[in-house]
Amino acid sequence: MTETKFDALIVGAGFAGLYMLHKLRGMGMSARVLETGSGVGGTWYWNRYPGARCDIGSLEYSYQFSAELQQEWHWSERYAPQPEILDYANHVADRFDLRRDIQFNTRVLSATFNDATNDWTLETSTGDRLTATHCIMATGCLSSANTPDFDGMDSFNGTTYHTGKWPHEGVDFSGLRVGIIGTGSSAIQSIPIIAEQATHLTVFQRTANYAVPAHNGPMDPDIERAIKADYAGFRARNAANRTGTSTVVNMQSALTVSEDDRDQIYEERWEVGGLQFRGAFSDLIFDLDANETAADFVRAKIRASVKDPATAELLSPTNTFGCKRLCVDTDYYATYNRDNVSLVDVSETPVDAITPEGVTVGGERYALDAIVLATGFDAMTGALAKIDIRGAGGTPLTDKWAAGPRTYLGLATAGFPNLFTITGPGSPSVLSNMIPSIEHHVEWIADCVGYMRDNNHATIDPTLESEDAWVEHVNEIANTTLYPTCNSWYLGANVPGKPRVFMPYIGVPPYVEKCAKVANNGYEGFSFS
Ligand code: FAD
Ligand code: NAP
């Protein structure tokens, strides 16, 4: 490839980057995608740990921009496993002939706005210098692995894995003593499978998490047929829900129904499985007393499932239900009934160090052959912070965001003209079904770029006033809920030193409405040059 000047450069070849490329090409624009990995798929390219799968039903965790694609693709399970989602991403790349404009094995190191020429220059790990009018960050919300800085990390004689950077050839834990640090979604999916292989599995838990059963299984042909008969209607109904998913919230309060009725509603949702449980009552994420009823219900389920009372107690979460991302499991709690699984509490006494032999906690040594770090991600801002992004006047994005990310609509940030973020902080992103949210952003950005072309605008930049007002609004909404009350990655609390700011926007329908209003009013809140 010799061309170095494009209409747009897109960083990342996950679902966001793939669709962005397709969309811009359809408008006759020149674009190139730059991707660190050697293939497409983003999350599903990197997270190949055992048990990895989506926890939003596959029939909705998929693109809708092509009616043919969504009709023709068949998901084999209710929640597709990682290899199938990766196959799907590859299928999309081939079907829409995307690969010829994707440069793999290429990490973007810096992105600099040129004040004189009103364009962006990107420098890459392969030594390329590429220029474009628009720079679109499709770098992912959960793509920058969080690896705690444990003492002695490099001294371990065995092998250390991170769930978010799993070896492509897979890992066979047979005959090994394995330790896993973390009990978030990635750990909860992988623990039951690793436990089946390992001689012994030691789980190091800092915070117990709530998990509801997936009840995964082969795709029900009747459900698939019914949804495909009216896919557009299915999508539209989901888009009208707060999370943009098929979870319909029961508008009753958990506190106004009788205890028996409440338990029955929880039980019904538990039987359906997955994230539907979150919608059992309308006030679960707003009212602590209502929330406590859901927490009690899950804790009772844990006690019923885990035979050893001390282990059950340790596994029972004490924080607000749903405040950290709800996990969806297959046999997670029952796994603790196995003789070869033990749970170590690292909440009060943290991991002291990694040693050549294993892990030490409070002076106690746990001899291990392999360590799995299921320690999550520097979410929402991590991948952006790793790129040296400089806006107008050379201002580094990391300086501007030193006290937390500031955006207008999660799409752009003042002082960084022509820079867009797909599912950036300040948009529903991780509190929604992410593929429709990605599609919404891609289409909004494409429309905006088209508007600029049609109106001869060289740059677009949000005004500071509109950005400040949006940041305030995001916080205002968050503060009406219980979300900011625990140490979640939504707040940046999982990464030492990261500013604690609630990053996603709560509520898909009002957000989509606001974005449409902004565009329809000539991109109000933005300035053009
Ligand atoms: P990503 O898929 O993260 O892709 C970003 C890409 O950018 C990566 O390939 C990365 O290598 C590349 N990149 C980043 N920085 C650079 C750079 N400097 N230079 C070059 N390339 C770069 N969401 C749901 O809605 N439902 C689910 O069930 C669900 N399950 C998930 C399960 C796991 C294990 C994880 C980790 C996340 C899950 N998510 C889920 C969230 C998921 O991240 C999104 O659904 C979606 O896949 C994000 O797509 P994306 O293209 O925005 O980002
Ligand atoms: P996560 O939810 O952030 O969980 C990380 C775990 O590591 C937490 O239990 C955390 O404890 C622990 N941890 C971090 N640092 C630690 C330390 N220094 N010592 C001990 N423990 C430490 O990360 P994740 O499980 O990878 O999931 C991230 C997100 O990706 C999810 O919330 C979800 O949005 C998405 N995801 C979805 C699925 C799915 O089911 N489809 C699967 C995987 C991931 P604390 O809680 O105390 O911080």
pLDDT tens sequence for the chain (529 residues): 456 899 999 999 999 999 999 999 999 999 999 999 999 999 999 999 999 999 999 999 999 999 999 999 999 999 999 999 999 999 999 999 999 999 999 999 999 999 999 999 999 999 999 999 999 999 999 999 999 999 999 999 999 999 999 999 999 999 999 999 999 999 999 999 999 999 999 999 999 999 999 999 999 999 999 999 999 999 999 999 999 999 999 999 999 999 999 999 999 999 999 999 999 999 999 999 999 999 999 999 999 999 999 999 999 999 999 999 999 999 999 999 999 999 999 999 999 999 999 999 999 999 999 999 999 999 999 999 999 999 999 999 999 999 999 999 999 999 999 999 999 999 999 999 999 999 999 999 999 999 999 999 999 999 999 999 999 999 999 999 999 999 999 999 999 999 999 999 999 999 999 999 999 999 999 999 9
What per-residue confidence (pLDDT) applies to 1? 46
Domain ranges in the chain are: 3-40+98-144+378-528, 147-209+324-376, 241-305
Give the sign of the dihedral formed by CA 247, CA 250, CA 254, CA 260: negative
| Mean per-residue pLDDT over the chain, rounded | 97
- Quick count: other Cβ atoms within 10 Å of Cβ 218? 9
Residue 248: how many CA atoms within 13 Å on its side-chain side?
Answer: 6
With a 6 Å cutoff on the Cβ, whether 441 touches ligand 2 is: no
pTM confidence score: 0.98
CATH number belonging to the domain at 3-40+98-144+378-528, selected among 1.10.357.10, 3.40.50.300, 3.50.50.60, 3.20.20.140:
3.50.50.60
Smallest CA-to-CA distance from 311 within 345, 349, 351 is with: 345
The CATH class of the 147-209+324-376 domain is alpha beta
Task: Measure the CA–CA gap between 477 and 471, rounded to whole angstroms.
Answer: 10
CB 431 within 8 A of CB 504: yes
Q: Do 321 and 295 meet the contact criterion of CB atoms below 8 Å apart?
A: yes
> What is the per-residue pLDDT for 230?
98
Of the candidates 476, 477, 455, the one whose C-alpha atom is nearest the C-alpha of residue 529 is 455
Q: Name the residue of 186, 354, 359 to mutate for ligand 2: max ligand atoms within 8 A of Cβ.
A: 186
Ligand 1 atom nearest the C-alpha of 56 is 28
Which amino acid type is present at position 92? Answer: V
Q: Bridge-partner residues for 81, per DSSP? A: 53
Residue 488 CA, ligand 2 centroid: distance in Å: 9
Answer yes or no: is the C-beta of 58 below 6 A from any ligand 2 atom: no
The finding on whether 378 has its CB within 6 A of some atom of ligand 2 is no
